[in-house]
Structure 1
Amino acid sequence: MKTTLVTLLLAVLCVEQAYTFMCYVCQEQESNKNCLTISMCAEEEKYCVTVRNNVGTKPNKPKYVISKMCSSTCPATSQQQNQTDQRVSCCEKPLCNVNGVSSKKSNYGVMSLGVLASITYIFACGL
C-alpha cells in the first residue's frame, strides 16, 4: 500500500499537465510569510505574478507591500513612477512565485519539499 501511494504521488508530480495550474496569492501584505496561500488558477491563467511596491515615505527606511496572483499575461517587469518603485516578476511553473523570483530552482525546491513532507507523512501514519 505504501509503495502504491508513493508511486502515485510521484506520477502526479512528474506529469505537470495532469493537474490544475496553481500560484501563491495575496493582496498587499507587508511580509512574504503572509503570501503563502495557494490558489487554483483559471484555465487561461498560465503565469504566477509577484508585485512588490515600495510604499515607504522615508528614504532610509523603505516599506514594501507584496501582492501575488494568477495572470493570463506577464505584465511589465519593473516601473518607477514619481517616487514609488514597483517590481514585478512572473513565471510559468506551478507555485513558482513562492519568493517572487522566477527560477526553476525555487520551483523544484518547493516541489521537493512537498514530496518529502508527503512521503514522511505517509510513513508516519503507517498508510
Structure 2
Amino acid sequence: MHLTAMKALLICMLAGSLFIQPTGSLKCYTCNTQLNNANCQTSVNCEGNANVCKTDVVGVVGLFNVISKECASSCEPYFKDFTVGKRNISCCTADLCNINGAHGFSTNYKAQVALALFVSLVCIFLRS
C-alpha cells in the first residue's frame, strides 16, 4: 500500500470514529413497591432496549407513598388525582436520574403493613 493511501485510510478511520457514539447502557435506580425512597437506591445497568428511567409513585390519602422504579423501553409522564390518592409517573434519560422519589411517612408499623397491602392492590388495579 502506498503511504498516501495509508494516510487516507487512517484519516477516514479517525473521522469515522468521531461519529461513533459510546454504547454504554443507561443506569437507573430500581425498586418495587417500597414505602420509603431510601429503599429505592439500588442502581442497575439497564438491559436490552431500555433507555428510560421510570419512577411510579402512588400516594394514598396523604398517609404514605408506594414507590416503584425501573428501567423501561418507553415511558409516558402521568399524573392523576383520585379520590383516595394520587399517582405520578415520571421519566428521565440520564444515568441515575431517578434518584428522587416521595419519602415515606411515619405511621405505626401495623398500619403501614395494612396500608401497604391495600396500596399494592390499588397499584395492580391501576396498572391494568
Using structure 2 for the length normalisation, give the TM-score: 0.56
* TM superposition shift of 1:84: 2.7
CA drift of 1:19 comes to 2.1
Q: Does 1:92 align with 2:93?
A: yes
Distance in 1 of aligned mates of 2:90 and 2:32 = 15
* In 1, Cα distance between equivalents of 2:96 and 2:23: 15
Match of 1:80 in 2: 81
* Alpha-carbon distance in structure 2 between the residues aligned to 1:76 and 1:69: 14
Give % identity: 33
Equivalences, count: 82
Q: Give deviations 1:64-116, integer Å, cap 9, x for gaps.
A: 11110011111242123442310111101111001149xxxxxxxxxxxxxxx
**Counterpart for residue 63 of structure 2:** 62
Residue aligning to 2:39: 34
Q: Which residue of structure 2 lines up, in the alignment, with residue 25 of structure 1?
A: 30
Structure 2 residue aligned with 1:45: 50
Q: Does structure 1 conserve the Cα–Cα contact (< 8 Å) formed by 2:34 and 2:67? A: yes
RMSD: 2.2
Q: Counterpart of 1:71 in structure 2: which amino acid?
A: A
Structure 1 residue runs without a partner (length 5+): 1-15, 102-127
Structure 2 gap segments, 5+ residues each: 1-20, 103-128
One-letter code aligned to 1:45: A
3-state secondary structure, aligned to 1:80: strand
Give the greater-gyration-radius structure (CA): 2
Distance 1:76 1:48 in 2: 11
Runs of 4+ in structure 1 off by over 6 angstroms are: none
Match of 2:121 in 1: none
